[in-house]
Amino acid sequence: MRIGELSERTGTPRRLLRYYEEQGLIVADRTPNGYRTYDTASVGRVVQIRGLLDAGLPTRLIKQILPCLDKPQVIHFSDATPEMLATLECELDRMTSRIQCLTRNRDAIGAYLDAVRDNHRPQAAVG
């Protein structure tokens, strides 16, 4: 598929897709006329990258861990440095805290909506 289709299927601007390619996060083949082409697996990879970026991981770290995410049950990560492991531990803790905060906020908004809906229900006629 061409870059426009990948952009549409992932909701990712073309410019960002080119950036991901520059960073080595995704790989594009080139047609004889120079157009980028991507395989169907690129859709999942871009979605995965976006999720990791949204979680706050930097692209340099994403590039290092992406190969391990394809088959988490068979992780071989021979070049993991102590610094990288410490960074991942911090990111994991930060994500966990963020998830807890989002869960509390979601529950509070849900409770608020329930209360508002209860107050706006039509009252039964008394008579």
How many residues can be counted in the chain?
127
Q: Specify whether the CB–CB gap between 75 and 68 falls below 8 A.
A: yes
pLDDT digits (tens, 9 = 90+) for 101-114: 999 999 999 999 99
Domain 1-74 has CATH 3.20.20.70: no
Which residues have CB under 8 Å from 18's CB, separation 6+? 3, 36
Q: pTM for the full model?
A: 0.66
pLDDT digits (tens, 9 = 90+) for 30-64: 999 989 999 999 999 999 999 889 888 888 888 88
Q: How confident is the model at residue 26 (pLDDT cuts 50, 70, 90)?
A: very high
Which residues have CB under 8 Å from 26's CB, separation 6+? 17, 20, 38, 42, 45, 46, 49
* Domain extent listing, the chain: 1-74, 80-120
Specify the DSSP class assigned to residue 119.
H
